[in-house]
Structure 1
């Protein structure tokens, strides 16, 4: 199957009001990562990164990092994740199937359907646990850092090939505002705004941002004469920074996003001889055949993220607590394979819902020492109910009933249904030590032990009493052929890292690194079910790649 992709050209206008500057020159020595720190990539300012949980100059970090500052994000018109992904070497992604489906590939390590990405996604210090939490508009972002290579010693499971660290704007000392609007192909228009400032001077600040994006689409179905790829997104974020004393800082934030769009816009090679594999091979990114589906597809997606961070500073170091609640719901439905103009394809309906509570507690030593260290612990309680609901139905009405199946009577009756609920509890302990052997030579020893226990429950499974055309099915298995079946798996791994960095002069950093990553496994639907939507593997093994890397890094070579 080949999916058509649209390419948009966009006109942008941006404005800002206020007097606060979002910039900071590099400090005399690296410091502990602060929720208040601001950076800029402007002329004369050194880029400060926080992905290693300390504020450090980009050229001092012995890792492959591409950093985008606020000024660079605006100058390059980066408004969505796919924009900075396309601007990052050895990083790519495909937006496919539905609004939440952003499949990331890092140095050849790809993400499969219904699995976690091979990179950790971190927003304001919170590691997202849901696979669909990244693909939405970027609101009020101060900096984005992309780390390549195993980062499990920092961010745990699934940071097997890297990490994406996103930091939002902190409130300034004076009130200011920002706004930008754009218009592009497909009648796509968007607008974003941000307002921040002090509610109580020196004590309490607020930052509010919002955005809307609306697109008619690029392609029509020749059968329905309607656009098959409309997109509408509304999102908002609020952040409060409270400083009750010189030693204590508290940061709280809330984010909400709602997307209405389309899904599963595919062209089947079986319908168009010109698309079938032959010589020369067809370019999968530019298919000339028309969409012919007779079904109006839809996609409803909501994202919520609530975070709370507290820092206590003392002469002996810093104690940091970071907690979050995350919730994602994604519903999408479309014509069935092979997506033709006829009714024999049936329909398909999918639903995923993810929620998680996480907390992390860590201790960070002062940075102005030859021997520096971080130690901490992490816990996550994850619920996916459903992890995947997949249903097929009769294409007897030209539309899909927009409610959770099974639909037992009337149009679009459900003819096959599978539901899997997945629950996971994960915990980890971690630590790393940086030792300046000399002024030019630094040794890093780090490690993290991750433990995850997963439980998958089949809620309903099988085929109904009717076939795709609504006629009695033969054979006639029940809807719940394996309902109640429980599968349990435990995944655990120690992820070490050893790095030796030599910086003979300020502009040169040579380093060698050994690291091991870990991506937890999982369970899918059992093979023995007669339903065609259930012919999937029953388990996914964990992945444990190891990397040995030597690299020179000139100053600023990975800044964008």
Structure 2
């Protein structure tokens, strides 16, 4: 076994070969994780490194003029990457904020944030298909070939949601020979899981791959009132791929997937300081069901002078979320139940619970024409993209009668055990389209220039479906009307230009400018009036589009077995998001911060210090400052959800321990710096220190046995803080073992 988590997956790609098992294993610069990989069967002249495609062309990480963290299939296996949180934890200057419901997991990348009901901060592309709904992101990862995380605006390449970067996920492809893999494991949840895939030929030039995942756990966080776990999970995923190579030039790639998640939600605590830890005591365990279905077809024709690609995708997502409402305590102890205590004594009010229903359907289509992969010195691409989305959302509070909480869908509850207290619902019809062009030219063997330009236009139409009697009526504010239709158009140009200079094969210098754009949208009708009534500034029925202009310089170098990388950037963000929860209507709302300045840098290093033994270190620093806000007291504060820094340290041995046995011993340490959560900076989370570890053996018959621990030292902290004091507990220590087999 040879270590390569940051170095080599180019074998079999573009005819590049890796060094022999006797060569020094050098870690590729951008990937902080380390991994083991089988030594190549044939020697090669030099280590070409992992090949990435995030910039719409294939090249090694060393040669790519961007800050990219990449994980090949062996790195994914060795690091135990099972969910997005796992690879994000290994990426400097990137964080994932996990929240109370499965559809809300926010990627925070170089100070570009995300929130509930917002467009994502990164473009997520899975097998060439861009995800159209941020609620799709937080899913199990299985049978994955490669993951790439691009930092910095990539709007010129990937469009309106690539304002902070892009995440490229590639699953394993169908194979010419029948092959498969299976992994079974248990954890201290008590939980068990099963993952695997099979692949092979069906007929001449027709291949298939089917992969699936099942996870079932009782959970890890105690609900001390109900005397049960607050976070049980049942998660089922299945993915199928049919590849038809109709000719040497024409291929059809059909994919379909399903994800069904069943868990609980809304087990918040209310605290004054994000560092306060409290027991979960909700009297309603809640319900969080999410169902995602996708089917996509990629057709590619490779002509002599150009490659024509068409990608069509249809997605549906439904999510039901129920549970306790403010202040998330048992009925006798709740705030509203004792609201009139000063007049009538305790117990003269009523407690509340809540429900949210989300239903999204979307069709997307991309067509592009590009130069051949090996086109030099000039390469180009032109194309167009559209996405048509239908979205329905309802939220509301019900009176908690002690008989549980029941889902409310498109109409207010008529259940006497679940009387409706407040209710808002809206339907949205969104149509977005884009035109784009990219070009790159090698001025000389050492100097290259790349440029891209994309225009995105997003038309949004919202219909108020709330019955008139449930719409807020605030004196002095125009009354919202049931059936009211509002429209808004958000559009922008997204240029990107990069200059790359390679004075030697071991040094890459780059710099450039890019703009990112993220569409605005609608809060639920009536929340603007409610915000006025509660004295909240910056929140209305519409939130504006965000733009981010970034200048960046970077360098990559290899000095013997050591690889180094550095990047520095400055970003001006206009209309970034912040989150406000309005308890009266149980609505999740976005406001805008007119201007924020973000400065930061990343430093990374990795090396093989002994045969099959590698170490890595990385630090990412983000300094943010709010430059403009409706409330002058906020100016100068840190922007919400941003951590001041991340730090990663890692070490791994992956190699032989006998003639018939390979071993793996790996440890990863991550420190997340002080984190602010809302514009007023009323509280900030102390730095968090997390350690993960894995140890295993692989037998020569293909069987692998691995023990693992996540959050090894059981750091107890809150993963999220929302204005109003809402905190969500992070998962404590998880440990277990798994057995895998490849055939």
Give the shorter-chain TM-score range.
Answer: 0.7 to 0.9
2:285 aligned with 1:296, yes or no? yes
Cα contact 2:354–2:397 (8 A) shared by 1: yes
Kept in 2, the 8 Å contact 1:513–1:550? The answer is yes
1:314 aligned to which of 303, 308, 311? 303
- Is the 1:239–1:254 contact (alpha carbons within 8 Å) kept by the matching residues of 2? yes
Q: Is residue 426–residue 466 contact of structure 2 (8 Å, CA) maintained in 1?
A: yes
1:455 aligns with 2:461: yes
- Report how many residues are paired: 503
Name 2:12's counterpart in structure 1: 24
Q: CA deviation at 1:114?
A: 1.6
Which secondary structure does the structure 2 equivalent of 1:54 belong to? coil
Equivalent residues in 2 for 1:71-470, closer than 5 Å: 71-201=74-204, 203-269=205-271, 276-277=272-273, 283=275, 287=277, 289-342=278-331, 344-366=350-372, 367-384=374-391, 386=392, 388-404=393-409, 405-461=411-467
**Counterparts of 2:60 and 2:432, CA distance in 1:** 32
Task: State the Cα distance separating 1:139 from its structure 2 match.
Answer: 2.4
**Contact 1:382/1:425 (CA < 8 Å) preserved in 2?**
yes
| Separation (CA, whole Å) in 2 of partners of 1:140 and 1:495 | 34
The structural deviation recorded for 1:150 is: 0.5
Q: Which has the higher strand share?
A: 2
Match of 1:546 among 549, 557, 561: 549
Q: Deviations over 1:98-144 (max 9, x none)?
A: 01110110012211222122100101111111010111101211100
Task: Give the Å deviation of 1:529.
Answer: 5.5
Q: Cα 1:513–1:528, aligned 2, differ >3 Å: closer, same or farther? A: closer
Deviation at 1:524? 1.1
Name which of structure 1's ranges 56-65 and 238-247 shifts more when overlaid on structure 2. 56-65
CA contact (8 A) 2:468 2:482 kept: no
Quick one: structure 1 residues 538 and 180, their matched pair in 2 at CA, closer, same or farther if it must change by over 3 Å? same
CA 1:474/1:527 → structure 2, altered by over 3 Å: closer, same or farther? Answer: closer
d(CA) in 2 for partners of 1:539, 1:229: 34
Q: CA deviation at 1:351?
A: 1.1
Flag the 1:64–1:235 CA change in 2: closer, same or farther, 3 A.
Answer: same
With over 3 angstroms needed to count, the CA separation of the structure-2 counterparts of 1:148 and 1:332, relative to structure 1, is same
Question: Separation in 2 of the partners of 1:242 and 1:231?
Answer: 37
Alpha-carbon distance in structure 2 between the residues aligned to 1:27 and 1:64: 25
Question: 1 CA distance for matches of 2:352 and 2:469?
Answer: 13
Q: CA 1:22/1:432 → structure 2, altered by over 3 Å: closer, same or farther?
A: closer
Are 1:524 and 2:516 an aligned pair?
A: no
Corresponding residue for residue 344 of structure 2? none
- Residue pair 1:24, 1:45 contacting (<8 A) in 2 also: no
Q: Any conservation in 2 of the 1:41–1:69 contact (CA below 8 Å)?
A: no
Query: Following TM superposition, by how much is the alpha carbon of 1:392 offset from its aligned partner in structure 2, in angstroms?
Result: 0.6
8 Å Cα contact 1:417-1:463 kept in structure 2: no
Superposition deviation, residue 427 in structure 1: 0.8
Q: CA deviation at 1:316?
A: 0.7
| 3-state DSSP of counterpart to 1:460 | coil
- Specify the alignment match of 1:5 in structure 2: none
Q: Distance in 2 between matches of 1:52 and 1:305?
A: 25
Distance (whole Å) between structure 2 residues aligned to residue 130 and residue 549 of structure 1: 29
Deviation at 1:516, TM superposition (A): 0.7
Give 1:498 deviation, angstroms. 1.0
Tell me if the contact between 1:416 and 1:462 (Cα under 8 Å) persists in the aligned partners.
no
- SS class of match (1:83): helix
Structure 2 residue matching 1:294: 3-state secondary structure: coil
1:386-433 deviation per Cα after TM superposition (whole angstroms, max 9, x unaligned)? 1x2101101013301235242124201111110011111111110111
In the superposition, relative to structure 1, how do residues 464 and 411 fare at CA in structure 2: closer, same or farther (>3 Å)? Answer: farther
Flag structure 1 segments of 5+ consecutive residues without an equivalent. Answer: 1-20, 30-39, 270-275, 466-472
Residues 1:490 and 1:474: Cα distance change in structure 2 (over 3 Å): closer
Note the C-alpha offset of 1:58: 1.8
CA RMSD in angstroms comes to 2.6
User: Are the aligned partners of 1:156 and 1:450 in contact in 2 as well (CA < 8 Å)?
Assistant: yes
The runs of 5 or more residues in structure 2 that have no matched partner are: 1-8, 18-35, 40-46, 332-336, 338-349, 566-605, 607-615, 617-743
Q: Structure 2-normalised TM-score?
A: 0.65
Corresponding residue of 2:499: 500
